């Protein structure tokens, strides 16, 4: 009885399908009402697909990839005709003739299902399969099947056959989170599709029919048998000769499965943060955030920027960076080996002097993807490492001063503020060079007062320190006493102005490109003059003297120039060194995430040893 009912339903469906095929719905009024009801709700919008993003180092080598699904969409004209024929002949020989569905194929499917008493036979065209992938579920019910026909007809109206075939070849599932024939080629053979031979093309074409059954990583032999079947089908249909089929069946298939690039997470995590900054700068979000009148307006702009960044990432991009992989590898290994004390951490950044680009980032010992990156997220008081930027350079800019200019290093009190020198020592008249060499706090505060708080801080505006605010405009700032502070990357960036007196924010990103190689974003910062040539020369001499004779003794002098300034905060909670040699500018912070004294490590000069490693030229 049940089989008889199914046969009856099959016979009744034939005229209904013919009616749909000929668009004469008035002959079947109930079907027309259903079609209009469903048709009104059909929205053939683009599906939300996250394409992979990749990051390349300065030599063009991919070092990091971000994706959940591996996709590499290709334009139809880039997909070999042989591949197109593999799917057209095996899946839908009438593709270019039908209007989205094939009545004869559906009738055959109904007949097979009736005999088998199940829904195993599909009878779907390529258009219907695209509809299932994009808009519907894969459940096998007659109700879903009828809706699928309507969507297929609508898709054929709105798209060309080439468009639909392109959607199909780029969106079908190839197992192992791989989607599309282009992605399948690079995943299973680690080569572009157009570099595969016909045997390899037919091999991956075997997978979508049943990605679990024909998963080549688990069932290679089954995949190979279906490949041979596909080649035979091409022979039967006159696409290839018997000789060609036999030759390609005998061709050895050797998989070369793509490994996901996942190197240098300290650097790649910063690149993603800089990407948002680049988009905000380019598209005006940054200006809107800074100009927001209320906190709610500011937050709305921040949310808009994050949404826009997500859209850019979802489109699939390639980020070209300045990463020096040899330097990054060296810095990660050497600094991590220095941080032997439990929970001791560090953050650092290295900038190439010639290009003013960020070539290395150290985010912390034991860093994993998604962790707190101390290079650009750890905001700490810089201690005396701020003096060249906030005190000495502004002082030199304010008059005809040099490193021999005498200054008073005796005790000083400004109101209730009475700074002291390291060890509590008191000094009399000294020179700028001597005060800088031994980091006299009393002299620094005197110079700071002479320049004027507002004037001194005005010199920092060009560096755009994110956490320095008006509440920091106090005399303790001369010694690094900020309410919050700076990051290692910010300090290294500012120190890069002492290379030649010019400043433009150092970046890791060189360009952001789409899948076709078109440039979407790149930085266009024009360098601005931060210091005079005389000031730069004097500061360089002062920092060199620190290395040779002052608090930086222990720093290796391995190039024609090396200069630095150390910094220590109250109770030795933070150790800093910032400076440069001929090749690099760098800044490193060492301490605990939860501040505590590390005086014993200061005595061991761990910060100087870290600085040595960061200036090392591999």
What is the set of active-site residues? 91, 384
Closest CA to 599 of 569, 572, 568: 572
Closest CA to 595 of 362, 384, 343: 343
Closest CA to 555 of 472, 617, 613: 613
Q: Give all strands of the β-sheet with 509-513 in edge-to-edge order.
A: 62-66, 53-56, 318-321, 509-513, 519-521
Residues with Cβ within 8 Å of residue 236, at least 6 apart in sequence: none
* 92: its two tokens: 């839908």
* 94: its two tokens: 């009438």
Supply angle C-alpha 510, 351, 555, rounded to 5: 165
Supply angle C-alpha 294, 295, 298, rounded to 5: 90
Instruction: Calculate the CA dihedral of residues 374, 378, 381, 382 and round it to 10 degrees.
Output: 30
Residues with Cβ within 8 Å of residue 556, at least 6 apart in sequence: 562, 612, 615
Pairing of strands 70-71, 178-179: parallel
Residue 568 CB neighbour total at 10 angstroms: 24
Residue 469 CB neighbour total at 10 angstroms: 11
Contact 150, 42 (CB under 8 A): yes
Residue 599 CB neighbour total at 10 angstroms: 12
292 three-state secondary structure = coil
State residue 457 phi and psi, 5-degree precision.
-70, -30
Residue 157 burial (C-beta neighbours within 10 Å; 0-12, 13-18, 19+): exposed
Closest CA to 35 of 52, 50, 16: 16
Q: What is the 3-state secondary structure (H, E, C) of 547-571?
A: HHHCCCECECCCCCCEEEEEEECHH
């Amino acid at each position: 009885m049940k089989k008889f009912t199914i046969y009856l339903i099959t016979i009744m469906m034939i005229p209904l399908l013919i009616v749909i095929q000929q668009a004469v719905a008035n002959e079947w009024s109930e079907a027309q009402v259903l079609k209009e009801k469903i048709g009104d709700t059909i929205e053939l919008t683009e599906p939300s697909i996250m394409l992979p993003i990749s990051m390349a180092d300065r030599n063009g080598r991919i070092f990091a990839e971000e994706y959940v699904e591996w996709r590499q969409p290709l334009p139809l004209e880039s997909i070999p005709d042989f591949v197109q024929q593999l799917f057209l002949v095996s899946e839908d020989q009438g593709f270019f003739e039908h209007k989205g569905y094939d009545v004869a194929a559906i009738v055959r499917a109904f007949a097979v299902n009736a005999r088998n008493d199940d829904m195993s036979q599909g009878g779907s065209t390529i258009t219907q399969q695209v509809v299932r992938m994009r808009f519907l579920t894969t459940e096998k019910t007659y109700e879903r099947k009828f809706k699928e026909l309507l969507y297929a007809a609508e898709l054929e109206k709105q798209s060309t056959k080439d468009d639909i075939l392109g959607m199909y070849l780029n969106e079908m599932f190839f197992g192992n989170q791989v989607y599309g024939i282009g992605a399948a080629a690079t995943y299973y053979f680690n080569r572009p599709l157009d570099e595969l031979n016909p045997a390899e093309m037919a091999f991956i074409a075997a997978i979508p029919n049943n990605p679990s059954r024909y998963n080549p990583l688990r069932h290679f032999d089954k995949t190979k048998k279906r490949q041979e079947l596909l080649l035979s089908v091409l022979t039967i249909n006159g696409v290839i000769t018997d000789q060609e089929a036999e030759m390609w069946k005998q061709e050895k298939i050797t998989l070369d499965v793509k490994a996901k690039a996942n190197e240098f997470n300290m650097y790649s995590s910063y690149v993603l943060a800089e990407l948002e900054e680049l988009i905000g700068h380019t598209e005006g979000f940054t200006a809107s955030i800074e100009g927001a009148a209320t906190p709610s307006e500011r937050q709305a702009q921040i949310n808009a920027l994050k949404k826009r960044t997500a859209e850019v990432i979802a489109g699939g991009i390639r980020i070209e960076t300045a990463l020096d992989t040899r330097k990054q590898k060296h810095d990660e290994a050497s600094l991590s080996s220095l941080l032997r004390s439990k929970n001791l951490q560090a953050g650092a950044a290295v900038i190439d002097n010639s290009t003013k680009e960020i070539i290395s980032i150290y985010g912390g010992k034991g860093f994993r993807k998604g962790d707190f990156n101390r290079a650009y997220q750890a905001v700490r008081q810089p201690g005396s490492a701020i003096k060249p930027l906030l005190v000495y350079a502004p002082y030199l800019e304010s008059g005809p001063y040099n490193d021999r200019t005498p200054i008073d290093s005796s005790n000083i009190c400004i109101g209730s503020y009475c700074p002291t020198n390291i060890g509590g020592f008191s000094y009399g008249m000294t020179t700028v060079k001597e005060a800088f060499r031994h980091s006299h706090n009393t002299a620094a505060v005197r110079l700071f007062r002479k320049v004027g708080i507002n004037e001194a801080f005005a010199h920092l505006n060009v560096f755009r320190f994110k956490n320095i605010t008006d509440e920091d405009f106090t005399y303790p700032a001369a010694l690094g006493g900020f309410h919050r502070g700076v990051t290692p990357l910010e300090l290294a960036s500012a120190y890069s102005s002492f290379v030649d007196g010019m400043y433009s924010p150092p970046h890791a990103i060189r360009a952001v490109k789409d899948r076709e190689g078109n440039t979407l974003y790149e930085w266009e910062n024009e360098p601005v003059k931060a210091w005079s040539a005389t000031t730069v020369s004097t500061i360089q001499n002062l920092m060199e003297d620190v290395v040779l004779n002052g608090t930086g003794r222990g720093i290796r002098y391995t190039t024609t120039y090396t200069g630095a300034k150390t910094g220590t905060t109250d109770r030795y909670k933070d150790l800093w060194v910032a400076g440069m040699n001929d090749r690099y500018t760098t800044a490193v912070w060492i301490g605990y995430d939860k501040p505590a004294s590390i005086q014993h490590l200061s005595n061991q000069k761990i910060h100087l040893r870290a600085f040595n490693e960061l200036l090392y030229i591999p």
